[in-house]
Amino acid sequence: MVSDYLEKRRQGKIIPRKKTLSQEVKKSIYMLIFTLLSIIIILSIVLLLNTSNAFQKGYSLQEEQQKKDDLEAQNRELIDKIIKATVYSKVENSPLLKNMVKAENPIYLEAPKLK
């Protein structure tokens, strides 16, 4: 029987062994597990990258919001300084106002009366 097999076999040709059904099932299960694990790992990496990117954008947005709030506070302080500088008492005591000529006969206009 072995001699028949060797005679039928050609020189240089390899005849593969046939595999049983249980071996094929085991191989398929391992391939399925490997494929599913690979998909899970790839999706996890993508999810982590997207999440970290969102957190970075949120942090940058928070920093810019803080800068905006600081600039608004500085703007309010400058407006307060301008208002304090133009207080009416300071304007009245201004040397420029004292050098102006006062009107001798001021004319005042009345508001129109509504019917």
What pLDDT shows up at residue 101? Answer: 77
37-85 per-position pLDDT tens digit: 999 999 999 999 988 988 888 889 999 999 999 999 999 999 998 888 7
Distance CA 52, CA 46 (A): 10
Phi, psi dihedral angles at 97 (to 5 degrees) = -70, -35
Instruction: Tell me the whole-structure pTM to 2 decimals.
Output: 0.44
Distance CA 94, CA 91 (A): 5
Q: Where are the domains of the chain?
A: 21-98
